[in-house]
Structure 1
Amino acid sequence: MKTQAAVVRATAQPFEVTTLELDAPAATEVQVKMIATGVCHTDAIVRDQIYPTFLPAVFGHEGAGIVEAVGSDIVSIKPGDRVVLGFNSCGRCAKCLAGAPAYCENFMSHNFACTRLDGSTAFSDNGEKVGSHFFGQSTFSQYTNVSARSVVKIDGDVPLELLGPLGCGLSTGAGAILNSLDVKTGDTVAVFGTGAVGSAAIMAAAATGATTIIAVDIHDSRLEQALELGATHTVNSRTDNPVEKIREITGDGVNYALDTTGVTAVTRQAAESLAINGTVGLVGAPAPGSEVTFEVGASLVRGWKFRTIIEGDAIPQDFIPRLVHLWRQGKFPLEKLVRTYSLENINDAFADSKSGEVIKPIIVF
């Protein structure tokens, strides 16, 4: 079948909206008519090949839509189902079987290869292979074939136009707070970077009852938004030293600090803002080979911990419905973060995200 899609043909080139051929879904795949899909920083770093993938390719990995057809091995999903799409995993390795698919031993091949495991692609352009299955999805296309493990069925009365970002960025931020760090009522939290991931972390921290939630960013507009989302304090790290300000607010530091920026200097600031026995979590994606240093002497007696976090330690089929429930309760107001764009204006969406003008762009088909 024919489908409109946004293609990246070469490193750091803009998205080109064109017509591609989409093949039939394989036995373990689901064909989805996209309603909307979020724009994420990860799409930008593969567009620029900071994380290399097969090119040309269709990216996009925060999709929401309606099932059109299913492969021969699919039994629990049917045409007409409303779905949100999460990351992919093999389902067979030790980590997947232990309930930790975000740390799938085959994560890269199932999410970043932009091909099926046999090397084929779902998309083609006049006989040329075009990369597909980015995060099992490749949702910058009106229709796409999706790996079954990426599919999460959603109740019929929730707006699919809004929910795509639950598949990655918002799930990562909220999951970091609720799953990875296990923030509890009364805890103190600092979130470095208040883009989509950081905003989701702030909303989750507020929902779980953290008493002090400090948002750190260089954009005053985003800090003002953070207060609306549940932050109790803000720090502009362009004008103030965030470590000093956090200690001034808390006395000793925070129980938990989350770095969503991928900037190694910020990771060190997050660690230095911790209270005794505090924990810093890293969800940002610095370039491969990046390193961060920590002071050791004084740190030795403070017993702080560092951990990296992938996909918020979430199981998509469990965690995305939990976030929908929080949204229904008004505790996860993701509608405050978004601006919608057509597929034809996808490059504007990426530019507005990079400039900080928009927290979470959503492409609506």
Structure 2
Amino acid sequence: MEAVAAVLKEPSGPFSIETVEVAAPKAGEVLVDIKAVGICHTDIAAATGAFGNPFPVVLGHEGAGVVEAVGEGVTNVRPGDKVLLTFNSCGECKRCKSNDPAYCLQFFPMNFGCVHSDGTNRLSKDGATVHDNFFGQSSFAAKAVANSRNVLKVADDADLATLAPLGCGIQTGAGGVMRSLSAKQGESLVVIGGGAVGLSAVMGGKIAGCDPIILIEPQVARREEGLALGATHAIDPIAQANTAEAVRAIVPEGVDMVVDTSGYLPAVEQAVNMVCTLGRIGLIGVPGSLDAALPVPLVQFITMGGTVRGIIEGDSDITGFLPELIAHHAAGRLPVDQIITRYPFSEINQAIEDGHHGKCIKAVLTFD
């Protein structure tokens, strides 16, 4: 069969809207008619070749759509089901068996390798391979061959364009607070960065009952959005360069948690002086250099019992946390609609450009 797709032919090149051939799903696979897909910072990073993914390639990993066909052995979904797609995992390693699929021992090859488990691909163009299976889906295409482990059935009346970003960015930010750092009622929270992931962390903090919730973000519109979504304070790091001092002006003893979604090392470095005793720092934002390192004052962190940990996908699991987030959205506690701007799929390059210049927070591409 054929489908329209955004093909990236070379690192950092523009996405080219082309018609590709799509092979039928094999055992354990699910063919999804994609209706909407969010654009995530990880897509942009992968587009540069930073993760070693091959080219030409179809990226996209916040897909949502309708099941068109299933391969042998698939029982969790059937044709006609609306589904949400998320990251891939093996299901066999000790992390998957302990219900920690975000830390699957095969996470990198299964999500960035852009090849299916049998070593082949499901997309082609004029007989030549187009690499797919990015994050187990490659949903920058009208049809994606996903894997049964990273496909979640949702309600028949679900708004797929709203739910699509939950598959990565939203669950990462909200889960970083709610699950990775185990936020408790009344604990104080700092979020560094007011993009889609950071604002999701703000929403997660509000759901968890955190107070105060302090957002550090240079763009005024995003600070205002953060306040509308549940932040109690917003700090402009340009006007107040010593953000640790600004945080302690609000919470003199220091905060319980800091979540960094920026990956900007000068901003992250200040986090170690923001936390109080037993304070936790969660690192989500990916820095621009693989050699980036966070200097941690050892004596200070030993004596205060501090914790610094990395966070992938908000410690999410597809059958547990994603349904919880969907329920929060339905109840009005996770108003992700407020940060979404919808674009026709053909405008993918414009959507990326708008996100780069701060004209939108979370771009979602739609096929209808």
- The TM-score normalised by the length of structure 2 is 0.97
Cα deviation 1:59-90 (Å, max 9, x = unaligned): 00001100000001112210000100010000
Q: SS of the counterpart of 2:88?
A: coil
Once the two structures are superposed, the pairs formed by residues 51-90 of structure 1 within 5 Å of their partners are: 51-90=51-90
- 1:20 corresponds to: 20
Once the two structures are superposed, the pairs formed by residues 212-251 of structure 1 within 5 Å of their partners are: 212-240=212-240, 241-251=242-252
- 1:180 corresponds to: 180
Rounded to whole Å, the distance in 2 between the matches of 1:271 and 1:117 is 41
Q: SS of the counterpart of 1:275?
A: strand
Once the two structures are superposed, the pairs formed by residues 56-205 of structure 1 within 5 Å of their partners are: 56-205=56-205
- The TM-score normalised by the length of structure 1 is 0.98
Aligned AA (2:263): G
Cα RMSD (Å)? 1.0
Q: SS of the counterpart of 1:307?
A: strand
1:319 matched to 2:321? The reply is: yes
- 2:290 corresponds to: 288
Rounded to whole Å, the distance in 2 between the matches of 1:103 and 1:76 is 22
Q: SS of the counterpart of 1:96?
A: helix
Cα deviation 1:109-158 (Å, max 9, x = unaligned): 11000111232111001111111110001000001111111101111222
8 Å Cα contact 1:202-1:231 kept in structure 2: yes
Cα deviation 1:145-200 (Å, max 9, x = unaligned): 11111101111222112110000000000111111101011000000001011111
Once the two structures are superposed, the pairs formed by residues 249-268 of structure 1 within 5 Å of their partners are: 249-268=250-269
- 1:364 corresponds to: 366
- 1:301 corresponds to: 303
Pairing partner for 1:332 from 327, 331, 334: 334
Once the two structures are superposed, the pairs formed by residues 2-41 of structure 1 within 5 Å of their partners are: 2-41=2-41
Q: SS of the counterpart of 2:114?
A: coil
Aligned AA (2:363): P
- 1:271 corresponds to: 272
Cα deviation 1:239-280 (Å, max 9, x = unaligned): 102111100001111100000111222221122211121000
Q: SS of the counterpart of 1:352?
A: helix
Aligned length: 365
8 Å Cα contact 2:76-2:148 kept in structure 1: no
8 Å Cα contact 2:82-2:158 kept in structure 1: no
Q: SS of the counterpart of 1:5?
A: strand
Rounded to whole Å, the distance in 2 between the matches of 1:324 and 1:91 is 23
Q: SS of the counterpart of 2:319?
A: helix
Q: CA deviation at 1:321?
A: 1.0
Rounded to whole Å, the distance in 2 between the matches of 1:297 and 1:93 is 36
Q: CA deviation at 1:297?
A: 4.2
- 2:348 corresponds to: 346
Aligned AA (1:221): A
Rounded to whole Å, the distance in 2 between the matches of 1:211 and 1:117 is 45
Aligned AA (1:246): V
Aligned AA (1:288): L
Rounded to whole Å, the distance in 1 between the matches of 2:271 and 2:226 is 18
Rounded to whole Å, the distance in 2 between the matches of 1:194 and 1:281 is 15
Query: Relative to 1, partners in 2 of residues 1:236 and 1:26: Cα closer, same or farther, differing over 3 Å?
Result: same
Rounded to whole Å, the distance in 2 between the matches of 1:316 and 1:351 is 30
Rounded to whole Å, the distance in 2 between the matches of 1:302 and 1:153 is 44
Rounded to whole Å, the distance in 2 between the matches of 1:321 and 1:177 is 17
8 Å Cα contact 2:38-2:362 kept in structure 1: yes
Shifted more, 211-220 versus 291-300: the winner is 291-300
Q: CA deviation at 1:293?
A: 1.4
Shifted more, 115-124 versus 64-73: the winner is 115-124
Q: SS of the counterpart of 1:316?
A: coil
- 2:43 corresponds to: 43
Rounded to whole Å, the distance in 1 between the matches of 2:330 and 2:181 is 24
Rounded to whole Å, the distance in 2 between the matches of 1:53 and 1:341 is 26
Aligned AA (1:264): L
Rounded to whole Å, the distance in 2 between the matches of 1:157 and 1:71 is 25
